[in-house]
Structure 1
Amino acid sequence: MKLAPTLLSTFAVLGTCGTVCGDSVEISGGGSLNGKVTRQAEYTVIAVDDEIQVALPNSRVRRIVSSDALANYRRNAEKAGDDAELHYKLAIWCVTGNNVPGRAAYYKQFHMRRAVELNPEHAYARASLGYKKHQGKWIKSTDLMHDRGMVSVGGRWELPEAVALNESAEADEKASKLWLAEIRRLVAVVNKGSSKSGEAMETLRSIQDPMAAMAIAKQLEDSRKDRSQSAAMRRMWVDMLGRFKNGASVEALVRAGIDDPDANIREAAIKHLQEYGSSSAIATYLPMLRANNRSLVNRAAEALASFPDPELVMTYINALVTTETRQRAAGAGMNVGFGDNGANGLSTGGKPTQESVAGTNPAVLTLVKMVEPEVDFGYDEEKWRNYIASKKTRFSGDLRRDP
């Protein structure tokens, strides 16, 4: 016997007494029937009441919960009667601990609905069933969110635009990972020096998909560390990144513009950043002028020379002289030590010490003179500051009133 889905839902938790009673037969795939149960060779028969009997193939019976196991539940269900609040509390009780064996959620659902039948304004029961009050009416939360143009994704309600962006980001990430594998394969073919190397190189040069930027950036960065690729190939990576003009390519070019040991690579990266990505380059290099490392300060200034900005002159001036803090190793001399009790002893060596060493930064001076070419105060930061201050306060007009 095949039971229609609507009939199954009708008898899922209801019995003739208005509550769940009798044995409970859990059905594979969802749902349950309640009544007197008789097991046969191939079927399980559930007597829902004196007039209705349902036969289910045993293959569809997930398990049977005996009426004895539901004794406590039946007593509480009888007490609930027509009291909406008691039905609500019983619904909570059903899913607390092991009060109701089997699919307790069905029992909870039934009593929440019963609470709403008895008191349509029972806010907690309504909320449990997924309702919200909107403009004085109880409506399904799902309907309300749909009316607001929201869509459900993984249990969360989001705007369609956000969903589209997330889906696009996931697709981009997938494409980027595919390019990682493909470019790695092509580079391996090129490095073999076989008859297919030339074709693989041409395939690499012809890549136009911006989603390949992450994979190409990785090739450039890895080759910088292990020096595994020729200068020509590494320059090819830089030019390809300059072609894409997206976030991944700009990030890689900014790093190459200051970190790459090859001056030609640094110069090529900066040239591309001048066309696209100058703001990211400046935002990255400018804080480096405050570094406790003169080498880094000068490299940053050299990079910033491609993006000179008169408005940043005071930041440049403050980096003309850098005071580095260095760790000085312990000496090998002999020290005499005196204890609190008057005892003394000899020890060799000493503790490491720190020393501050001031040094000038030629690349920074060049940068300052690029934006202020009319004067030259060398590395005298104070004179430079006074000069800039006087320029800002200077007024060439006539403040006298007309007669």
Structure 2
Amino acid sequence: MIRFHHQILLLPLLAGSLACATVMADSVELTGSGQLTGKVARKGELVIVGIDDDIQVAFPGSRVSRVVQSQELTKYKSLAKQVGDDANAHYQLARWCKAAGNVPGLSQYYTRFHMQRAVELNPNHAEARASLGYTKDEGKWILKTDLMRSRGMIFKGGRWVIPEAASLEESVDDSEKEAKLWIREIAKLVKVVMKGNRPENRRYDDAITELKSINDPLAAIAIAQQFENSSALAGRGSETQPPALRRLWITLLGKFKTNASVRALVKAGIDEPNPDLRDMALDQLLQYGSGTAIANYKRTLLSSKSSNDLINRAARALLAFPADRELAMQYINSLVTTHTREIAPSGNMNATFGGAGGGMGGMSSGSKPTKISQQRNNPSVLSLVKKTVPEADFGYDEVQWRNYLANQKLSFSGDLRRDL
């Protein structure tokens, strides 16, 4: 008996041999990959496959994942006898083998064999070539893997990319891992701080010192989360961290100058209920991130979906930044805004009566919800307009404000033409 200790990978039954002695052979599928066809017998812990009268191969039972009995391949063998040397017939049989349930066990080996046979019979069989991973380049068939590698690309994350992009993705992955580590580390330090500066809390001073010394921009996401979750707006009704710790978060966010830190400060500049912390966040944005802040606040101010309160908060935030006269006309549009609200129907039950019969028609529970539109003056917007155009004051009269600015522009244009 010949024993093979290396992994063996043989093609499935050759169509031409199906009429021979191997027609009634079993198929042995090996763990990991590989398939062997022959007469199967078991001896103790060994699985013995008889390739022919002279060659037998023995495998430990642990190497065998499945034995497909010959009768399970009856349908496949019947179809395989019919394909002959027809390339397209082999391609169609390969597709049949690939369909779930048609071939038991590792059907990919049967599929690949017939795809390869189709290409042998017709080297330009495009569908079979594509199934085997080939593509056409300058009129020649080439494995896509070889083509992409020849172009200096590497396969990563299920797609082909240039090495530089792969390195960048690895860097981003590493950054994300570091950011997650900071989330856990800062949470531990905050837990110590929240126990208070008491004699039994010996790590309090060290925790405060460690938090103050953070200078890694990758910690910005963790600190932004801490700051946002500590706010009264986080759904807890009151601040969950002492003001001193929340001030530290703002200081650190201002120091990092990252997208994450700017986003957190912009949100605080309009949503933070503590006026001191809100002004502190806006002061940080004056140093870095003012363009992002102004763009966000202006969009909120002008949005038809913003509530009266939100419009005034956006205007209040914009007051922290230098006046820009070019934006005055846009601000004027929000001096007086219209807001719609629904009033729920009353719970009164009303009787209705039928027509010709004169009987009771039924009961109704009142009318549909009523929509009411109200115009609201926005005092913070007026302050913003007056800061932008300090020499005038027309209150909430948008028409007068627009006429004034239009006349200013016309006057300026006329002076410019005379100078020319």
TM over 0.5: yes
Whether the 8 Å CA contact 2:79–2:93 is kept in 1: the answer is yes
Note if 1:213 corresponds to 2:197. no
Note if 1:227 corresponds to 2:227. no
Written as runs of structure 1 = structure 2, the 5 A alignment for 1:179-194 is: 179-192=182-195, 193=197, 194=201
Which residue number in structure 1 is paired with residue 328 of structure 2?
Answer: 313
Written as runs of structure 1 = structure 2, the 5 A alignment for 1:88-237 is: 88-192=91-195, 193=197, 194-225=201-232, 226-237=238-249
Instruction: Decide which moves more: 26-35 or 321-330.
Output: 321-330
Match of 1:268, as an amino acid? Answer: M
Cα drift, residue 221 of structure 1: 1.6
Cα drift, residue 97 of structure 1: 4.2
Whether the 8 Å CA contact 1:327–1:355 is kept in 2: the answer is yes
Cα drift, residue 149 of structure 1: 3.4
Cα drift, residue 338 of structure 1: 8.4
Instruction: Decide which moves more: 57-66 or 353-362.
Output: 353-362
Separation in structure 2 between the aligned mates of residue 40 and residue 338 of structure 1, nearest angstrom: 90
Alpha-carbon distance change, 57 to 197 in structure 1, aligned in 2, over 3 angstroms? closer
Separation in structure 1 between the aligned mates of residue 12 and residue 41 of structure 2, nearest angstrom: 18
- When normalised by structure 1's length, the TM-score is 0.86
Whether the 8 Å CA contact 2:344–2:369 is kept in 1: the answer is yes
Written as runs of structure 1 = structure 2, the 5 A alignment for 1:43-54 is: 43-54=46-57
Whether the 8 Å CA contact 2:98–2:107 is kept in 1: the answer is yes
Instruction: Decide which moves more: 81-90 or 265-274.
Output: 81-90
Q: Secondary structure at the match of 1:126?
A: helix
Whether the 8 Å CA contact 1:217–1:252 is kept in 2: the answer is yes
Separation in structure 1 between the aligned mates of residue 365 and residue 69 of structure 2, nearest angstrom: 86
Whether the 8 Å CA contact 1:335–1:350 is kept in 2: the answer is no
Match of 1:219, as an amino acid? Answer: Q
Whether the 8 Å CA contact 1:145–1:157 is kept in 2: the answer is yes
Alpha-carbon distance change, 189 to 37 in structure 1, aligned in 2, over 3 angstroms? closer
Which residue number in structure 2 is paired with residue 358 of structure 1?
Answer: 375
Separation in structure 2 between the aligned mates of residue 331 and residue 224 of structure 1, nearest angstrom: 37
Whether the 8 Å CA contact 1:15–1:49 is kept in 2: the answer is no
Separation in structure 2 between the aligned mates of residue 179 and residue 166 of structure 1, nearest angstrom: 20
Q: Secondary structure at the match of 2:109?
A: helix
Cα drift, residue 336 of structure 1: 10
- When normalised by structure 2's length, the TM-score is 0.83
Whether the 8 Å CA contact 2:16–2:81 is kept in 1: the answer is no
Whether the 8 Å CA contact 1:292–1:322 is kept in 2: the answer is no
Task: Work out which of the residue numbers 393, 400, 418 in structure 2 matches 1:376.
Answer: 393
Separation in structure 2 between the aligned mates of residue 281 and residue 86 of structure 1, nearest angstrom: 66
Separation in structure 2 between the aligned mates of residue 354 and residue 81 of structure 1, nearest angstrom: 77
Task: Work out which of the residue numbers 295, 298, 316 in structure 2 matches 1:302.
Answer: 316
Cα RMSD of the aligned pairs, angstroms, is 3.3
Whether the 8 Å CA contact 1:253–1:273 is kept in 2: the answer is yes
Match of 1:384, as an amino acid? Answer: W
Q: Render the CA deviation track for 1:238-268: whole Å, top value 9, x for unaligned.
A: 1110001111111110111111122111111
Q: Secondary structure at the match of 1:204?
A: helix
Note if 1:392 corresponds to 2:377. no
Separation in structure 1 between the aligned mates of residue 281 and residue 45 of structure 2, nearest angstrom: 77
Separation in structure 2 between the aligned mates of residue 77 and residue 355 of structure 1, nearest angstrom: 77
Match of 1:390, as an amino acid? Answer: N
Alpha-carbon distance change, 268 to 36 in structure 1, aligned in 2, over 3 angstroms? same
Instruction: Decide which moves more: 34-43 or 124-133.
Output: 34-43
Alpha-carbon distance change, 292 to 327 in structure 1, aligned in 2, over 3 angstroms? farther
Cα drift, residue 203 of structure 1: 0.9
Cα drift, residue 161 of structure 1: 4.1
Cα drift, residue 397 of structure 1: 4.1
Whether the 8 Å CA contact 1:16–1:48 is kept in 2: the answer is no
Written as runs of structure 1 = structure 2, the 5 A alignment for 1:224-373 is: 224-225=231-232, 226-290=238-302, 293-307=307-321, 308-326=323-341, 353-373=370-390
Match of 1:250, as an amino acid? Answer: V
Whether the 8 Å CA contact 1:16–1:49 is kept in 2: the answer is no
Whether the 8 Å CA contact 1:95–1:108 is kept in 2: the answer is yes
Cα drift, residue 323 of structure 1: 3.4
Separation in structure 2 between the aligned mates of residue 233 and residue 298 of structure 1, nearest angstrom: 28
Written as runs of structure 1 = structure 2, the 5 A alignment for 1:9-28 is: 9=9, 11-13=10-12, 17=16, 21=23, 22-28=25-31
Separation in structure 2 between the aligned mates of residue 112 and residue 322 of structure 1, nearest angstrom: 69
Q: Render the CA deviation track for 1:37-78: whole Å, top value 9, x for unaligned.
A: 343335433332455432333332333223333333333323
Q: Secondary structure at the match of 2:230?
A: helix
Separation in structure 1 between the aligned mates of residue 417 and residue 337 of structure 2, nearest angstrom: 42
Alpha-carbon distance change, 18 to 163 in structure 1, aligned in 2, over 3 angstroms? farther
Where does structure 1 lack aligned partners over 5 or more consecutive residues?
A: none
Alpha-carbon distance change, 242 to 25 in structure 1, aligned in 2, over 3 angstroms? same
Which residue number in structure 2 is paired with residue 64 of structure 1?
Answer: 67
Separation in structure 1 between the aligned mates of residue 38 and residue 101 of structure 2, nearest angstrom: 21
Separation in structure 2 between the aligned mates of residue 335 and residue 96 of structure 1, nearest angstrom: 64
Instruction: Decide which moves more: 143-152 or 390-399.
Output: 390-399
Cα drift, residue 122 of structure 1: 0.9
Q: Secondary structure at the match of 1:251?
A: helix
Instruction: Decide which moves more: 373-382 or 123-132.
Output: 373-382
Cα drift, residue 82 of structure 1: 1.8
Separation in structure 2 between the aligned mates of residue 265 and residue 400 of structure 1, nearest angstrom: 50
Match of 1:395, as an amino acid? Answer: G
Whether the 8 Å CA contact 1:15–1:34 is kept in 2: the answer is no
Q: Render the CA deviation track for 1:265-300: whole Å, top value 9, x for unaligned.
A: 111111111121112211221133246543332221
